[in-house]
Structure 1
Amino acid sequence: MHTTSIGIEADPSSSEPDNSKSPTFEMTVDLNVLEHLGINLYSNIAAVLTEAVANAWDADASSVRVRVDPNNQWVEIEDDGIGMSVDDLNGKYLRVGYRRRDDEDAEHGRKTAKGRPVMGRKGLGKLSLFSIADVIEVQSAKNGDRHGFRMTVPDIKKAVHEKQKYHPEPLASDVLTVTQGTKLVLREIKRQRLGKGVAALRKRLARRFSIIGQANGFDIEIDGLPITAADRGDLPKVQFLWTFEGYEPEANTISHVKESESLPARFDAWDSAWRVRGWLGTARKPKDLDDDEGGNLNGIVVFARGRLFHENVLDRLNDGRLYTKYLTGQIEADFLDDDDQPDIATSDRQRVQEDDERYTQLIAFLRSRLNQLEKRWNEWRRKHEVEKAKETSPALAEWLETLPEGYRKSAETLIAKLSALPVDDEDDRKLMYRHGILAFERMKLRGSTEEFVTSVESADRLLAVLADRDALEASLYRDIVKSRLDAIRDFQTIIDEDAKERVLQKYLFDHLWLLDPAWERATGSQIMESRLTTEGVLVAGLTEKERLGRVDIAYRTQAGKHVIVELKKVGRKMGLLELVEQGQTYVDKLRKILREQNVTSPDIEVIFVIGKAVDEEATNPDRLKSSMESIAPGSRIVHYDTLIRGAQEAYSAYIDQTKALDKLENIVNRI
């Protein structure tokens, strides 16, 4: 290993007087670069072995055998590659900064004899060995000759101190054991950098290469046992899987996956050679990605040319959404390491220069695909977690069935989140279910279930939300009670006075919860209303309504249901046939309009609100039921008195609290 010097001529345009001739300047690179690029650059044995294995790949080796002394006295790495001659050892291995892709011709510098794309680039990887060992022995055999030398950190530091060139110690021929390829022996190991043992090393090394296995003619063994893709440990944790187009994992490795989907592998605007391979997946629970030996698997590893290029690109996406806590994956993006483009890998080849266009394009691409992934993840997770929760507790299924359709999706999302939260005891999960359901029911009364469900991301967060909601309930309870009781009383007054249709129409239109508590958030459509008016289903003016003898509440929808409510004066006696004919007319015309909007099977209900009962309610209830069903499933007759009684029963808890709340109000008013 030699000190390198570079001659640089002075600028002839310098303003300094040229008394004789231009001065000569010299830049020197000292051997103490080992402190920065070797001894102190790498922090663990897996990163170091990555460099040794990459060199074996570039040497066209078909196998790399790693042995670790049980007492951690030495580590041995041996490959069966082409090996190195003395000239190769001096001119390539011992030359710091030897850049094969640039220093050799294109045919041999960028592709090996077997056609492999060369992994090495900076020529610094060999220095990484010094980060875990103070003594390095190198043996290599080529064309029947074998040679070797020993390097030690103390001797290198002595040469640096004395400003001398460093000459490694040749190994005696009787010490050489290599017969083909190259053998490295690391001695005087720095034990604090050996990690958690051979099992952990196997997993970590497996996650640093995507070219391991027979398909690529490249095997790695540790203590005689081959490393396989299964040693990565991430794919077995995956519940839902997304693969990029053109990538197909072996069927036996994904048999446990519940759902899978293919994602586009490139942006349309990219160069034709740019594409991403690999997969992304989500675990059922975040803690499933914890691995004491292999390290946390919650991240996306990026490979280029079959080796680790970025340890976890997920950290750079700045995406704090919940699904990222469940995410793992491996992707390959060879365009990050293009021969004809500048090298964007950092010196330790575990991160990249983040302002490079290739990297920014990869980040943009991943953000786009992850947006697709999150949407599907929410759907799949709700489906499978709810199914699992129902199996665990039939009572949950019973509760979900009691909910109106408009609330069920939010409730299922809540159950899915609670089902996936980590708990030490499953009895604790049942407790969370109970508290979550009670909180959901309270939020349902206030129409804020979506906000509540969205906020539940952890057990601690759930408890905080419940505490906050309890405080909010205490402050808002009086207003809620007063509002509902006033509405019920006002409606009773309107009915008792047989009020004009205009008043009756407006009141129920603004208080649809009197018809059905689930219709708190019913919405209207001005476009649909105008078309229904044109068809004669809705009538715009009160005079016209009175002339036609009917009063119609404007069309509204609720959770995919199309609702038309027909009001009759409290004192008017109606015949069943009259109601059926009118209702069928409404439904036929509404279906016609919806077909024009590509709604082929609409869910329609017609509700008649009347004061006096039709005769069939008492004499022939079966005929009444079938007649209503003939209009549309779910169509029915509702009485004004029934609405009042139902509202009173639904809000009986509020009514029971009025005295206490009135007393509290008196106290507050006197403060």
Structure 2
Amino acid sequence: MDYELKFDPKTIEHLGVKMYSTLPPALAEIISNAYDADSDKVILTFHEQNRVPKSISIKDDGEGMSASDIQNKFLVIGRNRRDVEGDKPSKKHNRLPTGKKGLGKLALFGLAKKITVDTVQDGLRNRFVLDWDNLLSADGSYHPQIEIANQKTDSPNGTTIKLSELKRKTPFDLESIADSLSKIFIIDNSFSIELKTTNPDDKSILVNNERKYALIEQEFTWTEKDLISSDSDYYGKISFTFITTKTPIPPNSGLRGVTLFSRGKLVNAPEYFSSSTSSHFYQYLTGWIRADFIDLLDEDVISTNRQSINWDHPEMQELREFLSKLILQVGKEWREKRKNKKEERFSKNTGIDKEKWLSSMSDDVRKPVEKIVDVMTKDEEVESTFTPIIQALHEIVPEYPELHWRHLHKKIRSRIQSYYENQQFAEAADQGTKVYGQILREISGESLDGTDLAKLFATGDKKRPKKPKIKVADVNTESGWNIQEGQAHMTRGVMAGFRNPMNHAPIDVVVPEIFTQLDCLNILSLISYLTTRLDYSDNDRSENNSESSASDNKCNW
């Protein structure tokens, strides 16, 4: 028996060495072969001596290869398996093949000068060696060195490929290799990828889907169920998980952007499917898309190194446009979700409903307060540092600050607050005048209203003084007499100058054509002052009108 590999040496060099010069992509091709061979698992063993790489062994428990398979399948460069055998699922795991171009085997020469293939199928073992230097010196036809030919064995089916005389000189970093491999595959539950060393003290590493995004802190996720409607042409045709992170994804992580897979294997490196990626949203986006229909297209649109798609293909153009719209939608929802979460965290940390707080302010107050709050909460990492400051700001500028800043009398404030909160300032001021009138009637026992309420403070004149119904100051002193007179004048003025106009014309005409919002707030302040004077009144309900302390003179209505 004599195996023969026919080729142009430049083909091996260009498609093997130059295309697969880094470890993970080359190993991925061998892993794909194991997957297509219906393996349950593949084990990659890395051997070093004094921290110098010596060899890599890749062992699978798949269906193995016969002597005929070796010659007619493995050693044929550019053999399209699907054209020859049909695009049909495997017998054991019902897998559709990932290999298509028949070039993956050349990846081995990107890593090593010597490749030993040891394979068993149905009780027969074959082993042969491919030597890089001999291969390059061959004239279009190369005969691998056969070490074992159709030897009977009790060993189970499977293939072991050993890569020796490695081109790599730096030590193996299994964690890094596992991370890179996890980004190349969507690994199903029927297939296990294990990495280990020959050092018995080293732990083995499993390459799985969880590892793919283990180094980032996920915040929000979207799947096809969230974004694709049942009437879409892509409903049931693609699946995906888009992920946004809490902090920007490091540029050198290889995770920025969304990876496109077909039949579980990468076909397009992470990107955003858009020409405009200036928004900072893209710094937070990663994820994967599975579009198996790409492998069914008449034209092969997947690049040889499986890093990019031919987006000029009509169906690929349509897919790209669709994915671009999806990601724009994700960006929009991300901003809303992030805003809501930030406000929830703000509320939890400070005890303040920010939206309610800011919406209760007039524009001239809200804008500077909002600017201060935004600066303090822009960087989420330091938000807790500013919590006490924001709480102090809230004490200074509470909800409905103009209402609180005026320090309205509690009787007035409780009766007009609902109007104020609904931005009905005119109604609030009007209600204030009515509350004031009601309080005067309760104190005096009189049924007066409007400007007649001023009579309750009447003192006559100094030559012919009379006892007022409601006394708010000591009328025996000059100052007290003036305060008493002022209470009467201001009561008459507020009733004539504000309450009467408000009650004799439609409110939407009076406000703001006659009275502005500020006018209404000023009326509230005046009403509050007049009501506060009543707290120190002596209503003379006792017949003896005896002298008493200021605290006794407070009216307890």
The two structures have a TM-score, normalised by structure 1, of 0.54
Q: 1:222 to 1:610 in 2, by over 3 A?
A: closer
2:10 aligned residue? 32
How far apart are the structure 1 equivalents of 2:425 and 2:129? 87
Q: Does 2:395 correspond to 1:419?
A: no
How far apart are the structure 2 equivalents of 1:622 and 1:238? 61
Q: CA deviation at 1:182?
A: 1.1
2:471 aligned residue? none
SS of 1:375's equivalent in the other structure is helix
Q: Does 2:120 correspond to 1:123?
A: no
Q: 1:225 to 1:80 in 2, by over 3 A?
A: same
Q: Does 2:111 correspond to 1:188?
A: no
2:266 aligned residue? 308
Q: Give the partner amino acid of 1:607.
A: Q
Aligned match of 1:100 in 81, 94, 98? 81
Aligned match of 2:46 in 52, 68, 72? 68
**How many residue pairs end up in the alignment?**
422
SS of 1:157's equivalent in the other structure is helix
* CA RMSD between the two structures: 4.5
1:607 aligned residue? 517
Contact 1:140–1:178 (CA under 8 A) maintained in structure 2: no
Q: Does 2:180 correspond to 1:204?
A: yes
Q: 1:612 to 1:54 in 2, by over 3 A?
A: closer
How far apart are the structure 1 equivalents of 2:521 and 2:289? 68
Q: CA deviation at 1:46?
A: 1.1
Q: CA deviation at 1:94?
A: 0.4
Q: Does 2:101 correspond to 1:143?
A: no
Q: Does 2:27 correspond to 1:49?
A: yes
Contact 1:234–1:328 (CA under 8 A) maintained in structure 2: no
Contact 1:301–1:311 (CA under 8 A) maintained in structure 2: yes
Contact 2:21–2:110 (CA under 8 A) maintained in structure 1: yes
5 Å matches for 1:356-505? 356-388=313-345, 407=367, 415=376, 417-419=378-380
Q: 1:610 to 1:191 in 2, by over 3 A?
A: closer
Q: CA deviation at 1:377?
A: 1.5
How far apart are the structure 2 equivalents of 1:353 and 1:267? 27
1:460 aligned residue? none
Contact 1:38–1:131 (CA under 8 A) maintained in structure 2: yes
Contact 2:125–2:148 (CA under 8 A) maintained in structure 1: no
Q: 1:608 to 1:45 in 2, by over 3 A?
A: closer
Aligned match of 1:219 in 162, 169, 192? 192
SS of 2:281's equivalent in the other structure is helix
Q: CA deviation at 1:264?
A: 1.5
How far apart are the structure 2 equivalents of 1:146 and 1:361? 49
How far apart are the structure 2 equivalents of 1:333 and 1:612? 67
How far apart are the structure 1 equivalents of 2:517 and 2:506? 9
Q: Does 2:208 correspond to 1:285?
A: no
Deviations 1:91-125 (A, max 9, x none): 00000011011112x3xx43222321111110101
Q: 1:617 to 1:62 in 2, by over 3 A?
A: closer
Q: 1:571 to 1:238 in 2, by over 3 A?
A: closer
Deviations 1:514-571 (A, max 9, x none): x99xxxxxxxxxxxxxxxxxxxxxxxxxxxxxxxxxxxxxxxxxxx97998999xx99
Q: 1:89 to 1:182 in 2, by over 3 A?
A: same
How far apart are the structure 1 equivalents of 2:317 and 2:351? 49
5 Å matches for 1:211-290? 211-213=187-189, 217-223=190-196, 224-234=204-214, 237-245=217-225, 262-264=226-228, 268-270=232-234, 275-286=237-248, 289-290=249-250
How far apart are the structure 2 equivalents of 1:226 and 1:613? 76
How far apart are the structure 1 equivalents of 2:499 and 2:533? 12
Q: CA deviation at 1:375?
A: 1.9
How far apart are the structure 2 equivalents of 1:205 and 1:305? 15
Contact 1:574–1:612 (CA under 8 A) maintained in structure 2: no
Contact 1:65–1:78 (CA under 8 A) maintained in structure 2: yes
SS of 2:517's equivalent in the other structure is strand
Q: 1:302 to 1:611 in 2, by over 3 A?
A: closer
Q: CA deviation at 1:149?
A: 0.6
Q: 1:191 to 1:391 in 2, by over 3 A?
A: farther
Q: Give the partner amino acid of 1:380.
A: K
Structure 1: gaps (5+ residues)? 5-28, 246-261, 421-425, 435-514, 517-559, 588-604, 624-671
Q: CA deviation at 1:236?
A: 5.5
SS of 1:73's equivalent in the other structure is strand
- Percent identical among aligned pairs is 24
Q: 1:384 to 1:362 in 2, by over 3 A?
A: same
Q: Does 2:64 correspond to 1:83?
A: yes
Contact 1:208–1:307 (CA under 8 A) maintained in structure 2: yes
Q: Give the partner amino acid of 1:199.
A: E
How far apart are the structure 1 equivalents of 2:498 and 2:123? 109
Q: Give the partner amino acid of 1:330.
A: W
Q: CA deviation at 1:418?
A: 2.7
How far apart are the structure 2 equivalents of 1:323 and 1:412? 22
Q: Give the partner amino acid of 2:239.
A: R
2:112 aligned residue? 133
The two structures have a TM-score, normalised by structure 2, of 0.64
Q: Give the partner amino acid of 2:242.
A: L
SS of 1:82's equivalent in the other structure is coil
Q: CA deviation at 1:78?
A: 0.9
Q: CA deviation at 1:387?
A: 5.0
How far apart are the structure 2 equivalents of 1:404 and 1:155? 84
